[in-house]
């Protein structure tokens, strides 16, 4: 199966478009875990155990682990081992470099760490993305329009009447010969999301920004999905993982994840039901 087929498969199997962002800030986790040998890992264990049947993917922002040095690197490895086969694992590192260096970046993420997908920055062009899409079963999510305030600095600049972000969309469409490129589209950008979906009907979108960043969940589902109500990956981090500071927090986390899964499925039903 190529990456997009793998994604569709797990979205059907778990009936979920939810991706949980495991961007673990140890300042924010229940305090009793700080006494354990590896608080990030112990926290991830609980989150994954509580939610693994409710998600299509987990996304790890690598910087949250890199900050902890060697131990952080180990935590990434051990966290990946806890995630069930078939669930998509996204290395969120915003990589991309000249050809021979991008080869090493992709190898670090796909071979050394065994993630199933990576986020990639388009600024350096095709040869910065290409090493990430060589293996059809591995996916590359290219930054298209991001959820942060700084997205206005360059992504909206007009080139021959079209904003730069749309040119990125069109290039990615052209590059997608292995059917394993996806786009990162912020949930705070509903209008742009609709526009981008109109350009690429069948590419997966990784949609961060719902929850703490106040992105629009309904629009994310409505415009993020392709015609059959799949291929949107709705990433939610802080609003799920930090649901409780209590010693026993797994049920609260499961409840929050379940809430988002159902909410997403409610909108899928509303906009993509066959009847």
For 240, the 3-state DSSP assignment is helix
Vertex 21, ends 78 and 27: CA angle to 5°? Answer: 80
Q: What is the DSSP letter of 112?
A: I
Does 166 bind a copy of itself (CB under 8 A)? Our answer is no
CA 210 – CA 190 distance, rounded (Å): 11
Please confirm, yes or no, whether 31 is among the known catalytic residues: no
Per CB under 8 A, which of residues 43..72 are in contact with a copy of itself?
61, 63-64, 66-70, 72
Determine the size of the site formed for a copy of itself (CB under 8 A): 58
- Sign of the Cα torsion 165, 108, 64, 136 reads positive
Binding mask 77-106 for a copy of itself (x = CB under 8 A): x--------------x-xxxxxx-xx-xx-
Nearest distance, CB of residue 4 and a copy of itself, angstroms: 23
Query: How many whole angstroms separate alpha carbon 17 and alpha carbon 56?
Result: 6
Q: Please state, in angstroms and rounded to a whole number, the distance separating the CA atoms of residues 144 and 75.
A: 29
Between residues 211 and 229, which has the closer beta carbon with respect to a copy of itself? 211
Quick one: how far is CA 260 from the chain centroid?
15
Binding span for a copy of itself by CB under 8 A among 33-41, 162-170, 244-252, 266-274 = 162-170
Selected range binding a copy of itself among 11-19, 33-41, 49-57, 115-123, rule: CB under 8 A = 115-123
Binding mask 129-148 for a copy of itself (x = CB under 8 A): x-------------x--xxx
Chain residues 211-250 in contact with a copy of itself, contact rule CB under 8 A: none
The answer to whether residue 177 forms part of the interface with a copy of itself (CB under 8 A) is no
Q: Which of 133, 142, 138 is nearest to 171 (CA)?
A: 142
d(CA 213, CA 112): 32
The angle at the Cα of 254, spanning 249 to 260, to the nearest 5 degrees, equals 130
The answer to whether 129 touches 141, Cβ cutoff 8 Å, is no
Q: Is 39 in the site for a copy of itself (CB under 8 A)?
A: no
The residue (of 65 and 267) whose beta carbon lies closer to a copy of itself is 65
Smallest separation (angstroms) from a copy of itself to the CB of 194:
21
Residue closer to a copy of itself, measured from CB, 12 or 134: 134
Among 5, 86, 107, 271, interactor with a copy of itself by CB under 8 A: 107
Distance CA 192, CA 263 (A): 22
Could you tell me the smallest distance in angstroms from the CB atom of residue 168 to a copy of itself? 7
């Amino acid at each position: 199966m190529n990456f997009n087929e793998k994604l569709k498969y797990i979205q059907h199997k778990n009936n979920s478009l939810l991706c949980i962002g495991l961007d673990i800030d140890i300042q924010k986790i229940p305090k009793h875990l700080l006494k354990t040998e590896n608080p990030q890992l112990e926290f991830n264990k609980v989150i994954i155990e509580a939610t693994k049947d409710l998600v299509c993917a987990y996304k790890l922002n690598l910087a949250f682990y890199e900050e902890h040095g060697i131990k952080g690197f180990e935590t990434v490895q051990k966290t990946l081992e806890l995630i069930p086969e078939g669930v998509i694992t996204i290395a969120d590192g915003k990589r991309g470099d000249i050809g021979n260096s991008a080869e090493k970046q992709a190898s670090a993420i796909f071979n050394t760490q065994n993630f199933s997908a990576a986020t990639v920055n388009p600024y350096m062009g095709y040869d910065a993305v290409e090493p990430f899409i060589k293996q059809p079963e591995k996916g590359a999510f290219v930054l298209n329009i991001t959820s942060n305030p700084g997205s206005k600095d360059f992504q909206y600049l007009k080139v021959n009447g079209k904003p730069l972000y749309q040119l990125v969309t069109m290039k990615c469409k052209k590059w997608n010969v292995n059917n394993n490129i996806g786009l990162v589209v912020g949930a705070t950008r509903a209008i742009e999301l609709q526009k981008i979906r109109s350009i690429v009907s069948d590419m997966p979108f990784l949609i961060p920004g719902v929850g703490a960043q106040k992105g629009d969940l309904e629009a994310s589902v409505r415009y993020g999905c392709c015609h059959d109500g799949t291929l949107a990956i709705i990433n939610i981090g802080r609003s799920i993982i930090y649901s409780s500071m209590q010693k026993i927090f797994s049920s609260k986390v499961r409840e929050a994840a379940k809430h988002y899964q159902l909410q997403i499925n409610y909108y899928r039903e509303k906009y993509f039901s066959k009847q």
